[in-house]
Each structure stands twice: as C-alpha cells, then as structure tokens.
A and B are shown apart, each in its own frame.
Chain A
Amino acid sequence: MSNFIKKVLVLCVACAASIACKQNGDSTTNYADISVGDEMIAELTAPPFVPKPVGDRPAKKLIVNMEIKEIEGEMADGVKYVYWTFGGSVPGSFIRTRVGDEVQFTLKNHPDNKLPHNIDLHAVTGPGGGAASSLVAPGHEKTFNFKCINPGLYVYHCATAPVGMHIANGMYGLILVEPEGGLPPVDKEYYVMQGDFYTKGKNGEPGMQPFDMTKAVDEHPDYVVFNGKVGALTGDKALTAKVGETVRIYMGNGGPNLVSSFHVIGEIFDRVHIEGGDAINKNVQTTLIPAGGSAIVEFKVDVPGTFILVDHSIFRAFNKGALGMLKVEGAENAKIYSGTTQEGIYHPEGGTIQNMPKSGNGKDVVVNKTLAQQITDGKNIYGRTCFACHQSEGQGIPGAFPPLAKSDFLNADPNRAVNAVLHGLSGEITVNGKKFNSVMTSQNLTDQEISDVLTYVYNSWGNNKTKVTPEMVKTQRAKPAPKSKDMHE
C-alpha cells in the first residue's frame, strides 16, 4: 500500500516537472537533440511562391545551395537598378526547413560578380548567424552547417561591409523553420517581403539609377516596395485565391531602414504569428513588421474582389510603391458584403436623403462657359475627386491605376471617358501598352462637373484638347450604362 502511494507521488512529481518544462518553452531544449535521417536537397523558390510544406517528414540533413548574382533589373517602368540577389530574385529564394533539420549551407558567389558577400540567417544560433563563416569572394563558394533549433519565420541577409548597402540592394530573404509536424495546412501560401530603396534620381526618374548612400543614411527612400520592385504583385502578377480559401502570407521586411505596418485593405487577419514566432494574435487589422523581422498572417477570404496589400504608412503605398494585390474569385456573399445599395445626396441643412437623379437636371449647367473657366473649375474637381488615384500629373500608379497623361485609351473616345466617370469602370483595359485590372467607382458629379473635369484632363499633360460639353454628358447619362465589354475595346 505504501508502495502504491510512493508510486503515485513519483508520478505526480514527474507530471509537475514535465509541465514546468513545457512552460519554460521546449523550443530550444529538445530540438538540438533530434537526430537526422537521410540527406535531402532543399527546394528553393523565388517569390511570391514557397516550397511545399514539410508536413510530417522527419528531421533531415538538408542541403541548401544558394547562388549570389549581381543583376540588372527594373525598379519601376523605365527605371533600372543593379540588384544584388540571393538566388537571382529580390527577396532571395525562400528556404523551408523543420526543427531538428541540419542544414548544410553552401554559398556560391558567381564569377561575374564584383563583390564579396556572406549570409547571416536569423534562424542560425552561432556567431554572426553564419556570416562569420561565409564571407565568399567572387568565383568562390563556402559551406557551413547549422541545426534549426527554434521554429519560426526568419529573415536572412548579407552582412558584408557596408552591410546597409548590401541589404539596400536587395540581399535579404526568408527562411522558415516549421514546428514538428508542420504548420497547419492552408489552401494558398505566398511569400512577400518589403524593402526600401535609395536611388540617385527621385521616384520615377528613368534610366539606370545608382544606389544613393546619403539618402540611405538619412533614411529617405525613393521606393518602398513589395518583392523588390514597383508592381511586383499587381495586374497579372497579383496573388490569387478563391472564395472560401485560407491564405497564408509569409511576410518579411528586409529594410534596411523602415518598419512596415502591413495591412490588407478589406481583409482582417484571422491569425498572426507575431514577429514570426509562436505567439498568435487573432483578428488583426495591421501588423507591425520590424526591419529584419517577419510575421505569418492567415486569413480566410470570404468575398470576391481585389484586396490591396499595403504598408499602411500610406504614402509609401501610393507614392513609393508599397502596394500589392490579392485577387479573389468566386461567388458574392451579400451577407458579408453587399456592395453599394443606395446612393444619395446628403443635405447637411436637413431634409431626407434623396436619390441621385438618373439624368442630370439642367439647373447647374452654365450656358456658354468658356474653355478657360471649364479648365479652372475642372482642375478643382480633379484635385478632390481624381487626384488620389490618377495622381497630380495624371501619371497614375503603375500596375494599379492607369495614367491620364498622354493616354491613348482616354484620347480614343471621349464618350467612353464620360461613361467611365458616370458609371465607373472595372476589368482589364490596356492603356499606353500596359494592362490594368482595377476598379474605378462611379463618380457622383453633375453634368457640368463631369464636362469640366474631363475638359481639364483632355487639355492637360499632352492629351488631345477635346472640349467636353455638359450636353455630351447629358446624352450619355440618358442612355443605359454600357456593358463592360464595350468599355474595354
């Protein structure tokens, strides 16, 4: 009997000890002891894609071969930049491991490169995160080994002097260390990384743009982008998903300087692995991603549409390029999102909300308004209605909002332009040889206002100086809204 009590006691103590151990965090203590099985060559992927999940595979000896290439690329339309890359892309190749894996990492510096490089992987426990062992001259390679003992999503980057410049030129990426058994399966996984870039010319200045050290030290970037360039995730390069699917984004921030306020317009993150670690926050609107840090965000997409990924330090999104798209296809769900159900005129002085009349009443039409007056008034309307998307000089935003300056699409058909303002415009169109697939909402403007603003646009930025009259607008308003197909041709 006393023996039995003893046994129970021992058991209880053992239980308590094991619980205590768990609470201390079993992440670092056990994983170093996991033995590895056979060798496996790691699958590496360029963004926005990730290698297939580890699932329930045992820990292995994982062979990673990473090639460094200094290559010329495009920062934005017509803007060239020499990127220094891990694996030929910015961000560099995605590396996917599990805890207990022993990684044999070989860093190869292409003979055409001018500079020595190395790699600091934040997933490494050891001096410099590998940097101390991996400085490699052009035309050479170096190998070092490390064991993944902490699960999480980690940044890697070059740490060769001057470190800031190597990072600013694109030398960063992500390495995922999955927990035992892998992360829970989801429908879509993507790889996105933010970075800030410093060029000699200001944003948009064409031609080859060298790195600007002074701007980098001052932390005044000309570009803040996702996946290395403006428009890397817009138009036909947008991320995609279907209604009902769960999307997981492995989101990193290479910096070198800025911290990202990552947000997806029109979505709420159901789960966020804060800073890429174990802690999970739920129902998050915007998550902060430190420079040299990460987050794993997951959300189920419930309704179709285009969801815009932004750094919610919002001028970076609309003026420096930190803008991407997730296009979701599938059936509408009016319970979750109805779309516009009613439009009206708001009378602050009282009265009930009235429906906008379908055809413009003539009251606001100014008879014999001069062209100059139309342009002056149109400019004001442009400033409060169109400016946000089409930008101050009608240049638009590459990959997101089409230009109005020297626009072939605009100049081809004034009536189509009138209809776009009256009824909105969505779906794919080609403007000056570039494809756009966005949504313009219908604008609540009077016939006179529409004619003024369009006249202003047609008489600015190299357009064909069409004078749009209120009568032209009135005629179009009287007609039924054109089918979208007719608008696109």
Chain B
Amino acid sequence: MEAQFIKRFHYCLILLSWVSISFSQVPKDMVTIGAGSYVPLYGTTDKKPVFIKSFLLDVYPVTNQQYLEFLKKNPNYRKSKIKRLFANTTYLSEWSGDLSFGQLNANAPVTNISWFAAKEYCECQGKRLATLDEWEYVAMADEKRKDARSREEFNKYILSWYEKNKTYNNSVGKTFKNYWGVYDMHGLVWEWTFDFNSIFLSGESRKDKDTDKDLFCGSGSVNATDLMNYAAFMRYAFRGSIKANYTTKNLGFRCAKNIAN
C-alpha cells in the first residue's frame, strides 16, 4: 500500500520535473487563453464582470487512452481499487477491466469519471482543473469571437447537443475549433470544473427571487444575467445536480495550467 503510494508519487514527480523543464513553452496539446473579463450567468450578484488571468488549457478533453496510461501508473484509481469516497459504483462502468476500456473508442473522452479522479489526473500531469469561471470564459467563444453568447445560431448549436443522444463515444476534436484553438467545449460531453459546486443550485430552480440566497438559483430569474442563455442555464443546472464522487456517462474533463511568471 505504502509502496504503491510512493510509486505513484514518484511518477507524479517525474511528470512535474518534465513540466518544469519546459515551463516557458506551451506544452503540447495545450493553448494559451488570453486574459479578459466577462459577466458570467451566475456567481456575481452585482452582475459585475469577473477577471480571468491568462492560463493554459488542454485543446481536447482527456481520452480513454490517456486515462488508461494514467491508470497503469496509478493503481489506486483503477475501478476495482478506487475508494467509494472518491467515486461511486458507476466509475468507469463501461470499461471491461481495470486496464481495458472495452468497446469504448480509445480517442473518445473518458467519462463516468468522478471529480476526485479528474483532479488527481490533472495534478499528476502538473496541471489542475479549470475553474468554473475559466471554463465558462473559454466556452463562450465560437470559431471567430471571444464572446458569441448573444449569437442565436451559437446557442442553437449548443442546445442541439443537449438533444442528441450518445455523443460521449465520439472522438475528440470533431467539433469546431474555437477562437482560442480549443475543441469540444460544446457538442461532445459535459466537463468537470474545479469549483463546479460553487454556484449552488437547490434543484428548485425558481427559488432565486430570494436574495438572501443569491447563489441558490438556477433558472431564468432575478439573479441570472442573461435570460436567453438557455445553454448556460443547463450547464449550471447540471453542475448543481452532481457531487464530487458522482460519475455519469456524459461527463468528462480536461486540464488547465497556470502560466509561470
């Protein structure tokens, strides 16, 4: 047990050292997201913009193949080993074994993954999960614009995914490349964010008239900044329905990284 832990730690160290050697460059499969500010749908009661510092983000969500490589080095996160505290029973439920993703597409995003596992994966790469505000900031870009949220066609595109079944087994990189050079923010799977539950939704989404609980909300009402942004409403509602050890078929993740000074 202890030996395993040390071993895993060791692998993380190797990765970290590799990352630190190349800190001045943008790592392969990541792009730089420029600094900026925007008004998120929720989270700013005064409806003032939040400022996003420049950071790095994975171009694609983490795939089954990549996650398999991680599991080879981190036995504690294999489906037969993982602690229930860190992932519920549907963790990697479509994998046929500890080190086999079965019939799933190697190049499809890994799903049925818990927040704990996603966070661990990123940390082992010397990365971290993106914050909710960072994720939403990147997600508001279409092919040409940093902020396409008011574009009706863009919203329709996102909404149409919510109505398509079984996209989780599609390969990464098949949707559009956005302004920042990032793929699959929409149209493939939901993604974990570091503070996914910082906007607390009760599930009673019409409760948001209650200003004492300014984050206790999730629907078209007083505290939301854009009543027409149905696509974003659904992301916030989804995040409100999950807990850190939950795993679902349409929920994957990607990693972010601070830019070293």
User: A residues within 8 Å of B by Cβ?
Assistant: 70, 72, 82, 111-112, 114-116, 118, 120, 127-128, 131-140, 159-165, 200, 210-211, 213-214, 217
Bound: A74/B218 CA distance, A: 30
- B163 near A160 with CB under 8 A, answer no
A197 CB to closest chain B CB, in angstroms?
A: 13
- B166 near A112 with CB under 8 A, answer yes
- A163 near B249 with CB under 8 A, answer no
A122 CB to closest chain B CB, in angstroms?
A: 13
Q: How many A-B residue pairs have CB under 8 A?
A: 117
- B90 near A139 with CB under 8 A, answer yes
Bound: A82/B162 CA distance, A: 10
B146 CB to closest chain A CB, in angstroms?
A: 23
Q: Say which residue of B159, B202, B238, B246 sits within 8 Å of A211 (CB atoms).
A: B159
- A160 near B246 with CB under 8 A, answer no
- A114 near B203 with CB under 8 A, answer no
Known: A131-B203, A164-B220. A138 touches B250 (CB 8 A): yes
Known: A162-B234, A210-B156, A210-B163. A140 touches B205 (CB 8 A): no
Bound: A211/B157 CA distance, A: 11
B69 at the interface (CB under 8 A from A): no
Q: Which 7 A-B pairs have the closest CB atoms?
A: A135-B203, A116-B241, A128-B204, A132-B204, A161-B219, A137-B241, A161-B205
In the complex, chain B residues whose CB is within 8 Å of the CB of A162: 219-220, 230, 233-234, 237
Smallest Cβ-Cβ distance to A119: which chain B residue: B203
- Using a Cβ–Cβ cut-off of 8 Å, how many residues does chain B contribute to the interface with A? 39
- A165 near B248 with CB under 8 A, answer no
Q: Say which residue of B160, B161, B233, B248 sits within 8 Å of A111 (CB atoms).
A: B248
A136 CB to closest chain B CB, in angstroms?
A: 6
In the complex, chain B residues whose CB is within 8 Å of the CB of A163: 205-206, 219-220
- B163 near A139 with CB under 8 A, answer no
| Residue of A82, A112, A114 ringed by the most chain B CB atoms within 10 A | A114
Give 7 A-B pairs besides A140-B248, A161-B234, A213-B155 with Cβ atoms closer than 8 angstroms. A114-B161, A115-B237, A132-B204, A135-B203, A135-B237, A162-B230, A165-B234
A306 CB to closest chain B CB, in angstroms?
A: 36
Docked complex: B205-261 residues within 8 A CB-CB of A: 205-207, 218-220, 228, 230, 233-234, 236-238, 240-242, 246-250
In the complex, chain A residues whose CB is within 8 Å of the CB of B242: 116, 137
Q: Say which residue of A115, A133, A164 sits within 8 Å of B238 (CB atoms).
A: A115
